[in-house]
Amino acid sequence: MTPIRVLIADDQVMVRQGFTVLLNAEPGIEVIGQAVDGLDAVAQVAELAPDVVLMDVRMPRLGGIEATRQLTEPSGATVKVLVLTTFDLDEYVYEALRAGASGFLLKDASAAELAQAVRVVAAGDALLAPNITKRLIAEFSRVTSSPRTPLKDRVGDLTERETEVLGLISQGLSNGEIAERLVVAEQTVKSHVGRILVKLGLRDRTQAAVFAYETGLIRPAGY
């Protein structure tokens, strides 16, 4: 089985080295490089083609948000970005998700949490992870302006069932949980998810959740 190839981008050498040791000790994961800032990360992704980048938000020269955008916007980009942050409710993390990141992780995460997050992001079709991602999306989507018309119009491309599935994705439910909720086969849900991502031009489930909140399809609790 081919290991998940990881690049770590952080301006703190101790963080890079610590995460490298933790991840290299995990089966099926290999750290193939370390970047000292966003510019270095973009250059190394082009050279090394990792599957996942652990991206610090705040770095000199080029920050994690813009680096994430540069890595995920090009057509055909396959690298997944997992944002690293010190605080779980960090407005910059939400901006990173909007820029194309697939999730985020606290820097004090355990080795098991770190490895699981890398596997989830690499899989693309797994749960939104960590679970706190959903809370962050809800918290910061409420401060955005009213739903953008172009985004809202795109919801019309979805069938009624696909719209329902998108709403459940944004709540952090897995394919199995969605299947149970809708009383359908899990494979059916997987097919719906695939069509949703294709129709909306989205990369993964995290981007689908961001889309659902930004279009107003899902409203944060209490709003």
Report in angstroms the alpha-carbon separations of 26 from 4, 34, 53, 60: 10, 17, 16, 30
| Residue 13 or residue 125, greater confidence | 13
| Residue 127 or residue 7, greater confidence | 7
pLDDT of res. 165: 92
| Residue 120 or residue 13, greater confidence | 13
| Residue 129 or residue 57, greater confidence | 57
Question: Average pLDDT, stretch 127-139?
Answer: 54
The model's pLDDT over 201-223, given as tens digits with 9 standing for 90+, comes to 887 887 888 888 777 776 655 44
Q: Which residues pair with 80 in a beta bridge?
A: 52
pLDDT of res. 116: 87
pLDDT of res. 73: 84
pLDDT of res. 43: 95
Report residue 187's pLDDT band, with 50, 70 and 90 as the boundaries. Answer: very high
pLDDT of res. 223: 45
| Res. 176: pLDDT tops 50 | yes
Global confidence as pTM? 0.75
CA separation for the pair 107, 16 (Å, rounded): 11
> Other CB atoms closer than 10 Å to residue 22's CB: what's the count?
17
Q: Mean pLDDT, the chain, as a whole number?
A: 82
Provide the 3-class DSSP secondary structure of residue 220. coil
DSSP-derived secondary structure letter, 172: T
| Res. 99: pLDDT tops 90 | no
| Residue 19 or residue 92, greater confidence | 19
pLDDT of res. 92: 73
pLDDT of res. 152: 57
Phi-psi region for residue 161, left (φ > 0), alpha (ψ -120 to 50) or beta? alpha
| Residue 166 or residue 128, greater confidence | 166
Task: For 66-157, list the strands marked E by DSSP.
Answer: 80-85, 103-106
Work out the percent of the chain whose per-residue pLDDT is above 70: 79
| Residue 89 or residue 36, greater confidence | 36
| Res. 39: pLDDT tops 90 | yes
Question: Average pLDDT, stretch 127-153?
Answer: 55
pLDDT of res. 142: 59
